[in-house]
């Protein structure tokens, strides 16, 4: 075994960038080892990735872009849709060739060798799948490339109910407090509650600790305001995720947003580990969907009362070219995403291209899209977002408007936000907006009223859904 391990290390290292994770996925990742990603992502790029450089380690390219490019060249893009499992850490650092040999002898060495010379692609892939699929998709995971519609009737949350009823919804974000006092948090919730369908509570955004999203959701529930729990993969283990979900469900929290989370690179020092060590956002969706629809924990234990969940994901439509980005969105929907809240959008035409790609994949009807809108505060803020934040593009015309606005920049930013809402609200596939004003809740209210999106309904949780 030691000899096999050394040989594998010597051959696969230089050829594929192999890190000997012991959970080989090379077949699905165009023969480039995804473990080269500083975050250790195994299901696609993070929201901060761009074609130029890795967002965590700027000295290198994003390994997932390299994987996408190679997969496209090899005609293996469909392979990127398979939901790949988290690591089985028991295998880390061990060889995988021994397992391949054992699986080949199960399938039949002659059959496998014969497949090397078969020209028929389908037959060849059938034999190869019989060898490699059980290795990369252990029974406890059983990932695939299929769409799994939610296995429940009706709706589980007020947000889902409104979206299902075709209402153009507004969600917003309230920043959790820095201290243990909830006075300001309660004030902020009360300001926006009458105007939005649900309130997101961020999970240590910018990798800086604050009051947990879970605690804020509890406060929100006590004020009868519908919360959205955000969970960043950065800070979660598989065990912690499942425990938290069962716990918050008991509190009445149904809406969950699974995100990768900002890298510790932009967080305070001393810097913590850069790697997303245990599970990525796509794996979180897969685990939570199976908890809800199949009533099982990842380890196979059954639950008598599975959690009720409306599962969401984040997306950054301009992070990659629309074709690549659409693969990422499709994968999240297949894993379990029922709605998306997007990164900040300032370019309605670019958004249209992204929506068209989703439509080509027939996925617009499978998830609700809430477009991220934020009023610009100043020309400086516009420059920062455009030049320093991956995935955000501000068109030149808009930049000029902000520059010319001078002392009236705040008002101009609100006018731009209103123009954006007006131009995106009739686009096919858009179900609402996710308004982010970063601590300016009075502006959230102003924009909603001026955009004519104020409805009689609000973020109140109906009595029959109350469980807090």
The CB-of-386 to ligand SF4 minimum distance in angstroms stands at 19
The least CB distance from residue 459 to ligand SF4, in Å, is: 33
Least Å distance, CB 89 to ligand SF4, is 20
Which CB atom, from 53 or from 366, has the smaller least distance to ligand SF4?
53
Structure tokens at 156: 């589980």
Q: Closer to ligand SF4 at the Cβ: 64 or 368?
A: 64
- Nearer Cβ to ligand SF4, position 316 or 437? 316
The nearer residue to ligand SF4, 39 or 401, going by C-beta atoms, is 39
Which lies closer to ligand SF4 via its Cβ, residue 67 or residue 373? 67
Closest contact distance (angstroms) between CB of 316 and ligand SF4 is 11
Least Å from the CB of residue 45 to ligand SF4: 4
* CB closer to ligand SF4 out of 315 and 444: 315
Which of residues 281 and 338 has its CB atom nearest to ligand SF4 in the complex? 281
Q: Which of 47, 39, 34 is nearest to 258 (CA)?
A: 47
- Give CA separation, 232 vs 118, 229, 260, 262, in Å: 45, 10, 5, 8
Q: Smallest distance, Å, CB 236 to ligand SF4? A: 17
CB 139 → ligand SF4: shortest distance, Å?
28
* 3-state SS, one letter per residue, for the chain: CHHHHHHHHHHHHHHHCCCCCCCCCHHHHCCCCHHHCCCCCCCCCCCCCCCCCCCCCCCCCCHHHHHHHHHHHCCCHHHHHCCCCCCCHHHCCCCCHHHHHHHHHHHCHHHHHHHCCCCCHHHHHHHHHHHHHHHHCCCCCCCCCCCCCCCCCCCCCHHHHHHHCCCCEEEEEECCCCCCCCHHHHHHHHHHCCCCCEEEECCCHHHCCCCCHHHHHHHHHHCCECEEEEEEHHHCCHHHHHHHHHHHHHCCCCEEEEECCCCHHHCCCCCCCCCCCCCCHHHHHHHHHHHHHHCECCCCCECCCCCCCEEEEEECCCCCCHHHHHHHHHHHHHHCCCEEEEEECCCHHHHHHHHHHHHHCCCCCCCEEEEEECCCCCHHHHHHHHHHCCCCCCCHHHHHHHHHHHHHHHHHHHHHHHHHHHHHCCCCCEEEEEECCCCCHHHHHHHHHHCCCCCCCCCECCHHHCCC
C-beta of 344: minimal distance to ligand SF4 in Å?
A: 18
Nearest distance, CB of residue 25 and ligand SF4, angstroms: 14
Nearer to ligand SF4, 32 or 156 (CB): 32
Q: Which two tokens stand for residue 234?
A: 């950065």
Instruction: Tell how far CA 222 is from the center of its chain.
Output: 28
| Choice between 32 and 405, CB closer to ligand SF4 | 32
- Residue numbers at the binding site for ligand SF4 (CB under 6 A): 37-39, 41, 45-46, 48-49, 54-56, 62-64
Q: CB of 189 within 8 A of CB of 223?
A: yes
User: CA-to-CA distance for 45 and 39, rounded, in angstroms?
Assistant: 9
| Residue (118 or 274) nearer to ligand SF4, CB | 274
User: Do residues 286 and 335 make contact, with C-beta atoms less than 8 angstroms apart?
Assistant: yes
| Angstrom distance (rounded) from CA 307 to CA 271 | 35
Q: State the nearest-atom distance from the C-beta of 97 to ligand SF4, in Å.
A: 26
Nearer to ligand SF4, 53 or 186 (CB): 53
Instruction: Round to whole Å and give the CA distance between 440 and 191.
Output: 10
CB of 441 to ligand SF4, least distance (A): 32
Q: Closest distance between ligand SF4 and the C-beta of residue 84, in Å?
A: 14
Nearer to ligand SF4, 323 or 381 (CB): 323
């Amino acid at each position: 075994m030691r000899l096999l391990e050394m040989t594998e290390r010597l051959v696969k290292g230089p050829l594929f960038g192999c890190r000997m994770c012991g959970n080989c996925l090379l077949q699905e990742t165009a023969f480039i080892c995804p473990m080269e990603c500083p975050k250790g992502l195994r299901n696609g790029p993070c929201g901060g990735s761009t074609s130029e450089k890795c967002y965590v380690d700027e000295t290198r390219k994003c390994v997932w872009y390299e994987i996408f490019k190679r997969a496209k060249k090899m005609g293996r893009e469909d392979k990127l849709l398979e939901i790949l499992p988290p690591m089985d850490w028991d295998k880390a650092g061990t060889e995988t060739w021994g397992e391949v040999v054992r699986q080949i002898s199960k399938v039949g060495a002659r059959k496998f060798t014969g497949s090397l010379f078969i020209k028929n692609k389908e037959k060849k892939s059938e034999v190869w799948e019989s060898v490699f699929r059980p290795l990369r998709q252990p029974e406890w995971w059983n990932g695939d490339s299929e769409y799994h519609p939610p296995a429940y009737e009706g709706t589980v949350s007020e947000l889902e109910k409104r979206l299902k009823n075709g209402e153009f919804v507004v969600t917003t974000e309230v920043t959790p407090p820095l201290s243990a006092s909830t006075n300001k948090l309660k004030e902020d919730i009360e300001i926006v509650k009458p105007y939005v369908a649900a309130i997101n509570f961020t999970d240590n955004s910018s990798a800086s600790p604050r009051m947990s999203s879970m605690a804020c959701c509890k406060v929100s529930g006590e004020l009868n305001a519908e919360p959205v729990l955000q969970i960043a993969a950065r800070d979660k283990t598989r065990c912690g995720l499942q425990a938290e979900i069962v716990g918050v469900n008991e509190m009445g929290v149904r809406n969950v947003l699974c995100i990768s989370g900002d890298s510790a690179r932009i967080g305070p020092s001393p810097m913590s580990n850069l790697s997303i060590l245990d599970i990525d956002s796509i794996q979180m969706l897969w685990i939570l969907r199976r908890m809800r629809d199949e009533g099982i924990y990842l380890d196979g234990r059954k639950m008598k009362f599975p959690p009720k969940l409306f599962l969401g994901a984040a997306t950054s439509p301009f992070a990659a070219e629309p074709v690549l980005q659409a693969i990422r969105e499709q994968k999240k929907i297949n894993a379990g995403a029922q709605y998306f809240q997007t990164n900040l959008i300032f370019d309605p035409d670019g958004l249209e291209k992204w929506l068209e790609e989703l439509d080509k994949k027939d996925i617009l009807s499978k998830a609700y899209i809430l477009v991220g809108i934020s009023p610009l505060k100043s020309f400086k803020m516009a420059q920062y977002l455009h030049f320093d934040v991956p995935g955000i593009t501000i068109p030149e015309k808009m930049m000029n408007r902000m520059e010319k606005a001078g002392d009236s920049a705040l008002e101009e930013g609100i006018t731009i936000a209103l123009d954006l809402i007006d131009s995106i609200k009739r686009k096919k596939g858009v179900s609402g907006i996710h308004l982010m004003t970063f601590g300016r809740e009075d502006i959230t209210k102003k924009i909603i009223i001026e955009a004519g999106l104020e409805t009689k309904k609000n973020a109140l949780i109906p009595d029959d859904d109350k469980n807090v």
